[in-house]
Amino acid sequence: MGVYNIAVIKGDGIGPDVVNEEIRVLNKIGEKFGHKFEYKEVLLGGAAIDACGTPIPKETVETCKASDSVLLGAVGGPKWDDLPGELRPERGLLGIRSELGLYANLRPAIIHKALASASPIKPEIIGDSLDILVVRELTGGIYFGEHGYRSGKYGEEAYDIENYSEFEIKRIAKVAFDSAMKRGKKITSVDKSNVLESSKLWRRTVIEMAKDYPEVELNHMYVDNAAMQLVRNPKQFDVILTSNIFGDILSDEASQITGSIGMLPSASLADGAFGLYEPIHGSAPDIAGMDMANPIATILSGAMMLRYSFGLTDEAKAIEDAVERVLDKNIRTGDIADADSVRVGTKAMGEAILAEI
């Protein structure tokens, strides 16, 4: 019997709605496979601002560091839009990534066969399936570079500096190459090396890393072309390796190709087995507490936690298979429903998945 300590950040908006269903599913897995999951709830983002006056309380950081992994709902919302930048909920998210050393973000973009018709891409292009893994560097680049204001040629100007070290590029490239070895052995590294010095270093470093992985096919693509190719021919991609800002944009584009941002999980990993797991969707405050949110992305994030942090492959697959069976029965929350679907709310979707485990 395994005992696992999990820090839980329910967050803002629909965060508590979907995380509650994720916890129910994890508890069912614990009962079935003989594990015990212990949870400690902490605050981040808007909820932390309201309670503590800061988007990232010290207690949250300490609890997360003392845990085996972290589950996160979603943070942010218009309620806090007028706050200074350093006090916005998103600063809590950036801060926790930095504090926990979460440098590797894995975002799978998967089309479930039962939902293939929901993709905005033509059927002759997308087919009935898609499986792309975006590996995004998470603690470097322009989001963590120097920011500020200064007097410029036309008056006051703002600046944000993009910078990467060889070390940062090597460690995220290794995650991508290791992931590719377990998949289709193909990587597309996305940069803007025709313009940016940081991208030139990125490309040189990735090419050097590829020498250690002779079985992996490595391609390079400028970010503007990659954005176009994701829509034009998404099946050409297997693993996409890219920087923080490019990965932020491309992973959202890839997720929309699948038909619903409410379906996709993500993992943010540090060295070793520690990780933070969250859905890629936002906090959707307009439907918070209304039993309307799709909990599947959050539940699948829990499956990623079982696989990547705890090494519980069978348990992770049990969740993923249960979700697949529910979708095959045409049980849908509103965001993925069509005229023939059995429409359910957040809790009923959780119940349906529990019944299949």
160 is catalytic: no
Alpha carbon of residue 25 to chain centroid: 19
Q: Which amino acid is at 262?
A: G
Compute the distance between CA of residue 161 and CA of residue 157 in angstroms, rounded to an integer.
13
Compute the distance between CA of residue 247 and CA of residue 218 in angstroms, rounded to an integer.
17
Q: Which amino acid is at 33?
A: F
Q: Are 223 and 250 in contact (CB under 8 A)?
A: yes
- Spell out the long-range contacts of 124-130 with Cβ–Cβ below 8 A and sequence spacing 24 or more: 125/232, 125/233, 125/234, 125/235, 126/234, 126/235, 126/257, 127/235, 130/234, 130/235, 130/257, 130/258
Catalytic residue among 164, 192, 277, 308: 192
The two structure tokens encoding residue 74: 């979603």
Catalytic residue among 17, 191, 238, 248: 248
Catalytic residue among 39, 79, 174, 252: 252
252 is catalytic: yes
317 is catalytic: no
Q: Interior CA angle at 200 toward 194 and 204, to 5°?
A: 130
Catalytic residue among 212, 224, 271, 338: 224
Compute the distance between CA of residue 65 and CA of residue 7 in angstroms, rounded to an integer.
9
Residue 155: how many other CB atoms lie within 10 Å: 6
The two structure tokens encoding residue 176: 């991508």
The two structure tokens encoding residue 331: 């049980």
Compute the distance between CA of residue 88 and CA of residue 80 in angstroms, rounded to an integer.
6
191 is catalytic: no
**End-to-end CA distance of the chain, in Å?**
19
Catalytic residue among 4, 10, 17, 143: 143
Which residues participate in catalysis according to the annotation? 143, 192, 224, 248, 252
